Amino acid sequence: MRGHTDPAGRGGEGVAGAGVHHPPGAHAELHGGGHRGRADRDGGRGRRADQEAEIVQTAEAAWAAAAVDIIKEEFVMSKTVKIEGMMCQNCVKHVKKALAALDPAVEVSLENKCATVSADVDDNAIKAAVADAGYEVVGIA
Average pLDDT over residues 48-75: 76
Residues 30 and 48 occupy one common structural domain? no
pTM of the predicted protein model: 0.48
| pLDDT digit string, tens, across residues 26-44 | 555 555 554 554 444 555 5
Half-sphere exposure of 45 (CA within 13 A, CB side): 6
Q: Is the pLDDT of residue 76 over 80?
A: no
State which residues form the domain around 97. Answer: 77-140
Residues 56 and 109 in one domain: no
The number of domains in the chain is 3
* Nearest one of 71, 70, 140 to 102, comparing CA atoms: 140
Segment 108-130, tens digit of pLDDT: 999 999 999 999 999 999 999 99
Q: Are 64 and 81 within one domain? A: no
The HSE-up count of residue 135 (CA atoms within 13 Å, CB side) is 31
Continuous segment of H or E residues that includes residue 39: helix 38-41
Looking at the structure, tell me whether residues 18 and 52 fall in a common domain. Answer: no
Q: How far apart are CA 129 and CA 39, in angstroms?
A: 70
